[in-house]
Amino acid sequence: MMNLKHKRCTLNDIAELSGVSKTTVSMVLNGRADEFRIKAETRQKILSIAQQHHYRANIYAKALQAQRTNTIGLVIPDFSNFGFAQTSKILERLCRNNGLQLIISCSDEQPQQEAKAIENLLERQIDLLITTPTQQSKRCYPHLDTLPSLQLDRVIKDADHVPYVITDDQSAVAEMVSGMIEKHQLSEFHYLGGLLQLTPSEARLQGFKCGLQQAGLPLQADWIHHRDYRAESGYIMMQQLLQHAGRLPQAIFVASYGLLVGVLRFLNEHQLLNQLSSRQLHLATFDDYELLNCLPFNINSIRQNHEQIANQLFASILNLLDKKPSENKIIPAELCWRDQ
């Protein structure tokens, strides 16, 4: 099945064809000919025969004997989420160019699917596992004790000894919120957030509070709204906000793009988008999309640095595979101001 059409050729085949032993072929093909002082002639013959026959080493045999698979697992919530897709893509390229295979799975935010995906990867003897956990407890992730591990974007509270790479959500949100308050002399600022048990949600809310404080605007309890991250929730929170207050607020910070979509759909359906154009309502969101540059109103956004996240992740991978310790990385985000 590995090869249906004509049986794949092995080290042994090459050895027989070249009239030397497996050992010799192995040395040559692994670039260790010098080390073992293989005759130039033998070297050439082996190389050319291997080439002719499209010899490809069997990594399964290699892994078996080396007790190392050079494979690492990545379990993210969803790769149709642009941010995760971006990070995965860059990381995959980095890995591939360095002889590592990245295997990506989706949890779909469902603990059960996540568990299956992890179990599956463990069966494949991965050398290291990167997760964006959906659960808050270390108990759900037994691999943390037995396998080199990294956390991406989210950190399990009782597992902060497992190194992580995250965005500095808090600073970015604080800076954006205080900036907007000052620029527009706001006396009011609402916040729509996602699942509070996730560390980024917490950091964003914390950032929001800091932002108010920095700008000297006292927080009011009914400014803060929380549900999950689905667009539907953005719609509902917006609806409730309006019902309660009887009018649109001066400004809203939306904690994710998913929520923003819901908010905009609500505003659109209720003919309120013009409040944005006329700057009666100021909007900012976490995460940045190109389409935000194409709208007839201005929405500030916070752009995560996926390139750097992937790079740091990769650096940590190399460290861990090398049995060196790896430090936590907190990557700054970039503010995209659009409300000139």
Partner DNA sequence: TTGTAAGCGTTATCAG
Partner DNA sequence: CTGATAACGCTTACAA
Which of a copy of itself, DNA, none is residue 148 near (CB under 5 to 8 Å by kind)?
Answer: a copy of itself
Residue 230's binding partner, choosing from a copy of itself, DNA, none, with beta-carbon cut-off 5 to 8 A by kind?
none
Q: Which of residues 309-328 bind a copy of itself (CB under 8 A)?
A: 321, 323
Q: Where are the alpha helices (DSSP H) in the chain?
A: 11-18, 22-29, 40-52, 59-66, 82-96, 111-123, 143-146, 169-184, 199-215, 231-245, 257-269, 273-277, 306-321
Q: Which of residues 148-167 bind a copy of itself (CB under 8 A)?
A: 148
Question: What is the C-alpha to C-alpha distance for residues 88 and 334, in angstroms, rounded to an integer?
Answer: 20
Closest approach of DNA to the CB of residue 147, in Å: 16
Judge whether 275 and 238 are in contact, CB under 8 Å: no
CA distance readout (Å), 139 to 158, 177, 200, 202, 290? 9, 36, 20, 21, 39
Beta-carbon-side half-sphere exposure of residue 9 (alpha carbons within 13 Å): 13
Give, to the nearest 10 degrees, the angle between helix 40-52 and helix 22-29.
80
Q: Is 146 in the site for a copy of itself (CB under 8 A)?
A: yes
Residues in 233-262 that interact with a copy of itself by CB under 8 A? 261
Alpha-carbon gap, residue 110 to 120, rounded angstroms: 15
Contact criterion met (CB below 8 Å) for 29 and 9: no
Indicate which single residue of 16, 92, 109, 228 sits in contact with a copy of itself (rule: CB under 8 A). Answer: 92
Contact partner, 104, from a copy of itself, DNA, none, Cβ < 5-8 Å per class: a copy of itself
Q: What is the closest distance, in whole angstroms, from the C-beta atom of residue 144 to a copy of itself in the complex? A: 10
With tokens 């050398």, the residue in question is 127
Which of 52, 145, 160, 280: binder of a copy of itself (CB under 8 A)? 145
The CB-of-9 to DNA minimum distance in angstroms stands at 8
Site residues for DNA, 25-44, by CB under 7 A, read 26-27, 29-30, 36-39, 41-43
**Joined tokens for residue 178:** 């205080």
Considering only residues 18, 69, 167, 170, which one is a binding residue for a copy of itself as defined by CB under 8 A?
69
Binding residue for a copy of itself (CB under 8 A) from 294, 324, 325, 340? 294
**Interacting partner of 264 out of DNA, a copy of itself, none (Cβ under 5 to 8 A depending on kind):** a copy of itself
Whose tokens are 């990381």? That residue is 91
- Write the interaction track for DNA spanning residues 1-20; mark x where CB under 7 A is met and - where it is not: -------x-xxx------xx
Residues touching a copy of itself: how many (CB under 8 A)? 66
End-to-end CA distance of the chain: 62
Residues in CB range of 269: below 8 A, 6 or more apart = none
- Cα separation, 277 vs 108, whole angstroms: 35
> What does the binding site for a copy of itself look like in residue numbers (CB under 8 A)?
1-6, 8, 56-61, 63-64, 67-69, 78-80, 82, 85-86, 88-89, 92-93, 96-97, 101, 103-106, 108, 113, 116-117, 120, 122-125, 127, 145-148, 231, 261, 264-265, 267-268, 273-274, 289-291, 293-296, 321, 323
